[in-house]
């Protein structure tokens, strides 16, 4: 199985995947279908799906909030990891790519766990805060990068103490350490790691898996 990493040498990245990843056959099918799309790089790699599933098991997650679904690789990996009474609230704005996700949730028999909201995530999150919903155990932020700080703040309100907030792409293909790159997406991703690193409300670690995953545990 070959994978992609923005940071690691391809041989090492493939070694990690081939040595340790046990991918559900339906996840593999979804990864292969997604690979045929021009935007395939938006999906997390299988080693990250497995890490997220492991984290869900470690904290006994039942309620998972996802911001940015695309064709559903991360949400399907999490739906398969959550217990039978697990619940996923998934936010996206794209009907076409989430139709692919729905198809795979169905074929894996986990569609009943997923509550997909098609609307700008800021609007969905604001609604959840107003409704005072039961707290989530884990949130994954992987949508429009300029809103990453707003999503982080919303997730901090919506996740229980001891729960996890994950932010994807925090290495942004290495752009975060290139001082000549100063576009809004790169700035937002740089800023969120610096903020979480100093934020007394969380303990954080930046893990160099795929394109960089920031893991923040709410105190
Ligand atoms: N987590 C997915 C995975 O690993 O397969 C990839 C998500 S992709 C990087 C980002 C997604 O965010 C896209 O599907 C896009 O439609 C969605 N998105 C962009 N802007 C958004 C917004 N304002 N609210 C909700 N979703 C948004
Ligand atoms: Ca991503």
Largest CA distance in the chain: 48
> Residue 178 in contact with residue 152, Cβ under 8 Å?
no
On whether the pTM is more than 0.95, the answer is yes
DSSP code of residue 178: -
| Best residue among 53, 71, 93 to mutate for probing ligand 1, ranked by most atoms within 8 Å of CB | 93
Residue 135 CA to ligand 2 center (angstroms) comes to 24
Q: Is the CB of 104 under 6 A from ligand 1?
A: no
User: Domain ranges in the chain?
Assistant: 10-218
Q: What is the pLDDT of residues 31-76, one digit of tens each?
A: 999 999 999 899 999 999 999 999 999 999 999 999 999 999 999 9
More confident residue, 101 or 1: 101
Cα-based angle 46, 52, 53 (whole degrees, multiple of 5): 90
Looking at domain 10-218, which CATH architecture does it have? 3-Layer(aba) Sandwich (3.40)
Q: Kindly state if the Cβ of 73 falls inside 6 Å of ligand 1.
A: yes
User: Is the CB of 142 within 6 Å of ligand 1?
Assistant: yes
Task: Tell me how far apart the alpha carbons of residues 177 and 172 are, in angstroms, rounded to a whole number.
Answer: 9
Q: pLDDT per residue over 95-148, tens digit each?
A: 999 999 999 999 999 999 999 999 999 999 999 999 999 999 999 999 999 999
């Amino acid at each position: 199985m070959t994978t992609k990493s923005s940071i690691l040498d391809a041989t090492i990245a493939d070694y990690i995947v081939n040595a340790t990843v046990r991918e559900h056959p339906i996840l593999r099918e979804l990864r292969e279908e997604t690979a045929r799309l021009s935007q395939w790089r938006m999906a997390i790699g299988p080693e990250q799906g497995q890490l997220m599933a492991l984290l869900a098991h470690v904290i006994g997650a039942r309620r998972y909030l996802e911001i940015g679904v695309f064709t559903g690789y991360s949400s399907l990996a999490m739906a398969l990891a959550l217990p039978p009474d697990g619940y996923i609230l998934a936010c996206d704005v794209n009907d076409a790519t989430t139709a692919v996700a729905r198809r795979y949730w169905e074929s894996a028999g986990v569609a009943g766990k997923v509550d997909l909201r098609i609307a700008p995530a800021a609007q969905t999150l604001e609604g959840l805060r107003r409704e005072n919903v039961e707290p989530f155990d884990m949130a994954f932020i992987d949508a429009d990068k300029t809103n990453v700080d707003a999503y982080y703040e919303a997730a901090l309100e919506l996740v229980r103490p001891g729960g996890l907030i994950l932010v994807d792409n925090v290495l942004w293909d290495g752009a975060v350490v290139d001082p000549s790159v100063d576009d809004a997406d790169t700035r937002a991703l740089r800023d969120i790691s610096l903020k979480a690193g100093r934020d007394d409300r969380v303990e954080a670690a930046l893990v160099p898996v795929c394109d960089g995953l920031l893991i923040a545990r709410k105190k």
